Amino acid sequence: MMCAEFERGAYMPNSSGEQVSTYTASDFDLPTYQNLPVVTDDVVFSNPSFMSNEIEQMNSNLNGRLNLTDDPNLSSIILNDGMVLSTNNNLVTSSKDEFVNIEPMARDRCNTWPMRRPAEMNQTLPMSQDKIDEEISSSNSSLQKDDGSLDEYMPQHRVRRQSLYSQGSPESEIDDPACKKSNSRRNAWGNMSYADLITQAILSSPEKRLTLSQVYEWMVQNVPYFRDKGDSNSSAGWKALVPCPSHGLSVQDAPSSSYQSMTSISSSMCTGSLSHGLPSVASLDPWVSTSESQLFPYGYPHPQPSTSGSMLQIHDLVPPLRKKRIRRRNPDSIPQKKPNPWGEDSYSDLIAKALESAPGGRMKLNEIYQWFSDNVPYFKERSSQEHAAGWKNSIRHNLSLHSRFMRIQNEGAGKSSWWVINPDAKPGRNPRRRSATMETTTKTILDKKRRGVRKRMDMVNESSLSSLNESAQSQRDFLDRDEGLGASDYEPFRSRTQSNVSMPGQRMTPPMEGFEDYKFPPWSGQQISQPASGATINDLLDRTDQIRLDTEEFRQMRASGQLVHPVKTEQKNEPPSNQQPFYQELCVVRGPDNLQNPLLCNQFSMSASSAPKPASMQCASNASFYPYGVHNSQNRLWNSTNPVNSMALNSNGLPIDLENVNTFESSNLDYDMEAVLRHELNSANGLSFDL
DNA sequence: ACACTTGTTTTTCGTT
DNA sequence: AACGAAAAACAAGTGT
């Protein structure tokens, strides 16, 4: 019988047929392996390689008596209940039929939940009490017929199972009720439904009632599958499923647990301490009516003998009022929430703190990693290569995602970039560089911008541009046509190739020659009037969130047929050559006499450098003005010796980044506006014509 | 060639 | 809707 403390086990005979050894459960270092079979059973779904690690660790706890590495023929461990722990194929199975064909399931891309709910779940949930009983009965019978035969559970069954999920003819098997019933489990933790588990949780409490948080904790403590999913994120999925009637947990679905019980739980605010008042495993009431092996065939805690418990009856539970959940917050109380396992700070908050603490306010990626490990215990405990991959990935993700952070190219060969806090970032939240999902957000953004642009266009045309009505109408026509275009026509998100940091085949931004020792001022808390750091032109250029069309300029431009200053300019005078540029000064290199999109700048410099340069256009960039990399000889960008290249202007004075690159000759307002629109749709933030 | 690091982007799910 | 976490795909560069 499988239970928390499996009494005895035996090593599987090796290939020579000799019995290697025997052991007792006391050899295991409890409680880590108290529920080993179940734990590893879970692992089968999520990470097959973990099985070997578990066993290796277990072996370590056995003082090396289980020498897996030196005995490749040692294929399995048999527990006395028939559970088989296979070490050579990472398969964990048991004598029970339902274990036979468990197979690691392929996960869809970005599927963060470890296993897709089996298709049959939709049919089995809601599950009636009859079905629960049937399941329990079936489970029990399968247990009883355990004969300990190993061959039955070894790889040949896996092959058979594979056909179920692979290219074979799954329909025949899937449609076979017998096949389903005998060969699969409903859930990763077993055949018990959420309703069943909740029922047992409630029954386990002395008062036959639990708060939702107590149910959560019970699940974590008593169902090994959830044991490592108790943190806020890992538990999000199953916690959402637990109390929700819409997931098939309803009165008629699971009378023993009952919708009432669950809504009762749901109505209880999760404000209490998780551990407060929760019955411990040791104090759990027994499962009346069924044995623990029936309810927890995979190693659930062994309940103590019943003394006073009785099966919870549906009528024992008082149906709660279904009212809207109200979050009450005591303004005087200090928030105790800990949204993440490491504390209240988000990744971006921690990154910001790291950067703020760094000398010069800059850090390389690996330094940020190190800061996390050094300063946050949670990450320190997970600083091994194996365990750090996830949060390091998240750090990189956050650095790239948030406009709060800014990357400055480190020009040393092979050196990673400097990361600094974007001085443009406002206190508090800042917009993401990109939206969450293309599908869900793109259309909304496009629609908003189009509406706004159209409105502004109408205003322009009605107020002062009567001579350009025809062109404006063209713009409206363009916009109307645009309605039918897909997102790809505008690419409001930075494509990889348009990124300012990762251009294919060229990760180099302008070098910082001569400025390696420049002292980066701390960014935190500074206003944008602070002196610029070593931000490179490309970094600065990409801040397209300041675009604003000056009304008078814009009108003049339009009146003259040239959209000379479509970008916000603050008409700064060129600073003294020996003065550190101010950040805003660097920002305005995107103005009419500079580029906004470094990629396009690059394009221009390489493919359109022959474009005539208006004599009136003065290059604001020179080595003294942009000491942090404006003189990129490699890319020939911002080369002070070649002002033509530094002029991101088409023949009509239109900034190239606002122009479709192949329309240099055009001075048509239609093109101008189209370019503006396109640019805006490519920019991260909203369009502001300020008309 | 391969492993690893760095960086970008997308997706999913849960929370606010 | 925006945000955050987690996971993942992918690309490019570097080191061995």
Structural tokens at position A680: 């805006």
Q: Does residue A382 form part of some domain?
A: yes
pLDDT of residue A364 exceeding 70:
yes
pLDDT given at position A347 = 92
Nearest one of A211, A295, A310, A223 to A261, comparing CA atoms: A211
Pairing between β-strand A76-79 and β-strand A92-93 as defined by DSSP bridges: unpaired
Range with lowest mean pLDDT among A82-86, A164-168, A647-651, A671-675: A164-168
A115 CA to B13 C1', in Å?
Answer: 14
Tens digits of per-residue pLDDT, A524-581?
A: 333 333 333 333 333 333 333 332 223 333 334 334 433 322 223 223 333 333 333 3
pLDDT given at position A81 = 35
pLDDT of residue A680 exceeding 80:
no
Per-residue CA distances from A468 to A7, A86, A567, A630, A669 (Å): 89, 78, 20, 38, 8
Torsion over CA of A573, A577, A580 and A586, rounded to 10 degrees?
A: 50
- Would you say the C-beta of A440 is within 7 Å of strand C? yes
Cα–Cα dist A130/A187, whole Å: 18
DSSP one-letter code for A584: H
- Would you say the C-beta of A239 is within 7 Å of strand B? yes
The protein residue nearest B4 (Cα–C1') is A385
Q: Does residue A398 form part of some domain?
A: yes
CATH assignment at residue A212: 1.10.10.10
pLDDT given at position A423 = 79
A600 CA to C16 C1', in Å?
Answer: 36
For residue A189, name the pLDDT band (cuts at 50, 70, 90). low
pLDDT given at position A384 = 86
> Which bases of chain B come closer than 7 Å to a protein CB?
5-16
Give, for A85, the enclosing helix (H) or strand (E): strand A84-86
Domain boundary among A175, A210, A228: A228
- Would you say the C-beta of A158 is within 7 Å of strand B? no
Nearest one of A253, A137, A151, A268 to A194, comparing CA atoms: A253
pLDDT of residue A369 exceeding 90:
yes
Nearest one of A402, A397, A407 to A425, comparing CA atoms: A402
Rg (CA), chain A: 33
pLDDT given at position A284 = 27
A417 CA to B6 C1', in Å?
Answer: 9
Per-residue CA distances from A529 to A418, A580, A666 (Å): 21, 12, 37
Phi, psi of A24 (to 5 degrees): -120, 160
A312 CA to C13 C1', in Å?
Answer: 63
The protein residue nearest B11 (Cα–C1') is A110
> Which bases of chain C come closer than 7 Å to a protein CB?
1-9, 11-15
Q: What mean pLDDT comes out for the span A452-480?
A: 40
Nucleotide nearest A236, from its CA to each C1' = B14
A183 CA to B8 C1', in Å?
Answer: 42
- Would you say the C-beta of A346 is within 7 Å of strand C? yes
Q: Does residue A321 form part of some domain?
A: no
Q: Does residue A497 form part of some domain?
A: no
pLDDT given at position A343 = 86
pLDDT of residue A175 exceeding 80:
no
- Would you say the C-beta of A112 is within 7 Å of strand C? yes
Q: What mean pLDDT comes out for the span A347-357?
A: 90
Q: Does residue A244 form part of some domain?
A: no
Higher pLDDT, A240 or A588: A240
Give residue A383's domain range: 347-424
Q: Does residue A208 form part of some domain?
A: yes
Q: Does residue A374 form part of some domain?
A: yes
Q: What mean pLDDT comes out for the span A174-198?
A: 43
pLDDT of residue A32 exceeding 50:
no
A289 CA to B11 C1', in Å?
Answer: 45
- Would you say the C-beta of A562 is within 7 Å of strand B? no
* DSSP result, A137-169: HHHHHHHHT----SGGGSHHHHHHHHHHHSSS-
The protein residue nearest B13 (Cα–C1') is A237
Domain boundary among A204, A228, A252: A228
For residue A202, name the pLDDT band (cuts at 50, 70, 90). low
Higher pLDDT, A175 or A403: A403
For residue A259, name the pLDDT band (cuts at 50, 70, 90). very low
Identity of the residue numbered A427: P
Nearest one of A230, A190, A5 to A215, comparing CA atoms: A230
pLDDT given at position A213 = 54
Phi, psi of A92 (to 5 degrees): -115, 130
The protein residue nearest B16 (Cα–C1') is A327
Q: What mean pLDDT comes out for the span A205-232?
A: 56
Q: What mean pLDDT comes out for the span A19-24?
A: 32
pLDDT of residue A487 exceeding 70:
no
Length of chain A: 691
Most distant CA pair in chain A, distance: 98
Can you give A434-460 as a three-state secondary structure string? CCCCHHHHHHHHHHHHHHHHHHHHHHH
Phi, psi of A334 (to 5 degrees): -80, 130
Cα–Cα dist A240/A208, whole Å: 22
Q: What mean pLDDT comes out for the span A358-378?
A: 90
For residue A651, name the pLDDT band (cuts at 50, 70, 90). very low
Percent of chain A with pLDDT over 70: 12
Collapsed DSSP state (helix, strand, coil) of residue A632: strand
Q: What mean pLDDT comes out for the span A15-33?
A: 34
pLDDT given at position A385 = 81
Domain boundary among A369, A401, A424: A424
> A108-146 burial by CB neighbour count: b if 16+ within 10 A, else e?
eeeeeebbeebeeeeebbbbebebbeebbebbbebbeeb
- Would you say the C-beta of A506 is within 7 Å of strand C? yes
Structural tokens at position A495: 């494509």
Per the structure, the count of domains in chain A is: 2
For residue A394, name the pLDDT band (cuts at 50, 70, 90). very high
Angle (CA) A41 A42 A47, round 5° = 105
pLDDT given at position A365 = 92
Tens digits of per-residue pLDDT, A620-649?
A: 223 222 222 222 323 322 232 232 233 333
Structural tokens at position A6: 């499996």
- Would you say the C-beta of A13 is within 7 Å of strand C? no
Cα–Cα dist A100/A116, whole Å: 19
Q: Residue A126: is the preceding peptide bond cis (ω within 30°)?
A: yes
- Would you say the C-beta of A347 is within 7 Å of strand C? yes
pLDDT of residue A390 exceeding 70:
yes
Q: What mean pLDDT comes out for the span A67-84?
A: 35
Q: What mean pLDDT comes out for the span A291-315?
A: 29
pLDDT given at position A398 = 92
Nearest one of A660, A672, A420, A638 to A560, comparing CA atoms: A672
User: Which neighbouring-strand residues pair with A78?
Assistant: A10, A84
A228 CA to B4 C1', in Å?
Answer: 29
Tens digits of per-residue pLDDT, A103-127?
A: 333 333 222 222 333 333 333 333 3
Cα–Cα dist A169/A193, whole Å: 28
Higher pLDDT, A620 or A130: A130
A466 CA to B16 C1', in Å?
Answer: 47
Tens digits of per-residue pLDDT, A569-604?
A: 223 333 333 333 333 323 322 222 233 333 233 333
Collapsed DSSP state (helix, strand, coil) of residue A7: coil
Q: Does residue A57 form part of some domain?
A: no
A95 CA to C12 C1', in Å?
Answer: 50
Pairing between β-strand A76-79 and β-strand A405-408 as defined by DSSP bridges: unpaired
- Would you say the C-beta of A615 is within 7 Å of strand B? no
pLDDT given at position A419 = 92
Q: What mean pLDDT is reported for chain A? A: 42
pLDDT given at position A416 = 82
